[in-house]
Amino acid sequence: MKPQHGSRLRNFHQAKWDEEVIFELSNPGERGIHYPQVERAISDAVGDGVSEIPASMRRESPPALPEVGQMRVLKHFLRLSQQNLGADLNIDVGQGTCTIKYSPKINEKIAGSAKARDIHPHQDESTVQGALRIMYELDLFFREISGMDRFSLQPSSGSHAILTMAAVIHKYHEVRGEADTRDELITTIFSHPSDAAAAAAKGYRITTLYPDEQGMPDLEALKAAVSERTAGLFITNPEDIGIFNPHIAEFTRVVHEVGGVCGYDQANANGIMGITRAREADFDLCFFNLHKTFSAPHGCGGPASGALGATKEMADYLPVPLVGFDGGKYYLDYDVPHTIGKARTFYGAFPVILKAYAWIMSMGAEGLKEAARIAVLNNNYLFKHITEIAGATSPYKGGKRRIEQVRYSWEELYNETGVDTHDVTLRLADFGFHLWQSHHPFVVPQPFTIEPTESYSKEELDEYLDGLRHVVHEARTEPDTVKRAPHNSVVHKIDESVYDDPDKWAITWRAYLKKHGREAAKIRG
């Protein structure tokens, strides 16, 4: 039966396999593949091998790995994959700030081709000239897009790029004998949370600025924050609420005046690509997430890439090696005077680099600008229709248009019906939609953040809008249906009060057994 509101909505039901954790599937002695016993003549000649290892170095018991046959492993992971709701399945505009766009499958083929797959970072430079050329040219593309003077493709994620920026800034101050006194890094509450987190991981004290009434980071607060202890500023623009700060050059000026370094978090540059550059706002460093703006798929902790750019002065501190070209051949350039060293082993996540390169080559300069333009238009199409839904609002900036995303609020809906943003999120899952609330803390009350990028058609955007309208209608007419959601999903509501309880959380199986006991797990044998 189709829901009354929004004929485009699907009768979706997520697959549920009631699948156990792979450790719980384990049966003692079960193997993926059984190998034959070693032949007698061989063991007679060389022994069993193991007894050659000194007793003190031998394990007393085998590692507690799951023992599961190959066919059951295959089924296990296929079942789990069916319980997923990935970007290639749903209309993933509800994952605001993450810039979910289409990752052309031909680029996967290119990255998976033998030419790309079978090269090894230990090969001599002369045998990987093609790969080095791609890295070098991608550096040139990013210079053009950002106005910076040199890029390192080494960092393996956006947060890793931020950590590398923090290391570069630390080194810069160290060379000037100021690393010990400049221990504060400034960011804003609507910048990516990793700007604070990764800088804190480098050892910086974090100072956070809150927005003014218009949603802009408060310039007066910045002036109160800067001092001789300021190491730098990490800031996103447009910030995660989708508002572009036109006074950004004033921010970099204030920080420069006290000797700080400015890093531009352009993880998501999707609304400004080809429109405005880090150079014009006088940033010293910037980075792009190739798995956001430049179409490589999000790895969910898997392979990613945060390309880190620097001005000529700051390029002296970038990680080594960079990729150079002497007019005849491409080479790994270790001649970086004040380099921070390596940010990771080898040179970067090459398959991701290759996918971004392929995407840029297929789009061309005009295409990049066009992608940004369409992303902004799509966003403002949703903005127009979402703000017409009674109960949804767009705090700040008096309803004016936004760049590539918007942080909306369900506060009015909540006050009227008691249905909150979390309830709406769970109910939307019943129609195969994902809606993400937003980064914490919730400065915007009852938030939800939507970013459509350039990839989705009007029909898909309308389907998503129908989902929102339908759930809002239900909130008014049958709120219990919303509050008891999800009804068609694999996992129901869970107790949130233990999220931050170190006695309860477990991110490994071993920790789970330790904290919850073996009886909590269904262990065989």
Of residues 91 and 186, the one with the C-beta less far from other proteins: 186
Of the candidate residues 42, 377, 498, 523, the single one contacting other proteins (CB under 8 A): 498
- Nearer to other proteins (CB atom), residue 101 or residue 407: 407
CB 305 within 8 A of CB 356: yes
- From residue 164 to residue 203, the character string flagging contacts with other proteins as x (rule: CB under 8 A) and all else as - is -------------------------x------x---x---
Candidates 13, 109, 487, 493: give the one binding other proteins (CB under 8 A): 493
**Distance (Å, whole) CA 273 – CA 404:** 11
Residue 519 lies near other proteins (rule: CB under 8 A)? no
Q: Per-residue x/- marks for other proteins, 449-488, CB under 8 A?
A: ----------------------------------x-----
Quote the tokens at residue 525.
């044998």
Please select the residue that binds other proteins; options are 142, 204, 357, 436, rule is CB under 8 A: 204
CB 211 within 8 A of CB 396: yes
Binding other proteins (rule: CB under 8 A), the pick from 52, 60, 496, 519 is 496
d(Cα 485, Cα 494) in Å, to the nearest integer? 12
To the nearest whole angstrom, how small is the minimum distance from the Cβ of residue 73 to other proteins?
Answer: 33
114-139: burial string, b at 16+ Cβ within 10 Å, e else? eebeeeeeeeeeeebeebbebbbbbb
499 is a site residue for other proteins (CB under 8 A): yes
What's the length of the chain? 525
SS3 assignment for 28-44: CCCCCCCCCCCCHHHHH
Piece of the chain touching other proteins by CB under 8 A; list 10-18, 209-217, 319-327, 341-349:
209-217
Nearer to other proteins, 26 or 188 (CB): 188
Q: Which is nearer to other proteins, 367 or 445 (CB)?
A: 445
What counts of helices (H) and strands (E) characterise the chain?
15, 11
Q: Which is nearer to other proteins, 355 or 439 (CB)?
A: 439
Q: How far is the CB of 80 from other proteins (least distance, A)?
A: 25
505 binds other proteins (CB under 8 A): no
Candidates 60-68, 221-229, 273-281, 361-369 — which segment interacts with other proteins by CB under 8 A?
221-229
Q: Are strands 330-333 and 406-409 parallel, antiparallel or unpaired?
A: unpaired
Does the footprint of other proteins cover residue 445 (CB under 8 A)?
yes
Size of the site for other proteins (CB under 8 A): 43
Residue from 222, 281, 286, 354 binding other proteins (CB under 8 A): 222
- Count CB neighbours of 1 within 10 A: 4
What CA–CA distance (Å, rounded) separates 430 from 467?
10
Distance separating alpha carbons of residues 344 and 262, to the nearest angstrom: 23
| Residue 311 backbone phi and psi in degrees, to 5 | -70, 170
| The binder of other proteins chosen from 18, 497, 508, 519 (CB under 8 A) | 497
CA distance 88 to 379: 20
Q: Which is nearer to other proteins, 60 or 495 (CB)?
A: 495
- Using CB under 8 A as the binding rule, whether residue 39 contacts other proteins is answered as no
> For 69-72, which contacts have Cβ atoms below 8 Å and span 24 or more sequence positions?
69/30, 69/31, 69/32, 70/32, 70/33, 72/25, 72/30
Site for other proteins in 387-426 (CB under 8 A): 411, 414-415, 418, 420-422
Q: Which two tokens stand for residue 226?
A: 């800067």
Closer residue to other proteins in complex, CB, 204/288: 204
- Supply the minimum distance, in Å, between the C-beta of residue 244 and other proteins: 20
Neighbours of 258 (CB within 10 A): 14
Nearest CA to 310 out of 174, 206, 155, 98 is that of: 155
Q: Which residues bind other proteins (CB under 8 A)?
A: 189, 196, 200, 204-213, 218, 220-222, 224-225, 411, 414-415, 418, 420-422, 437, 440-443, 445-447, 483, 493, 495-501
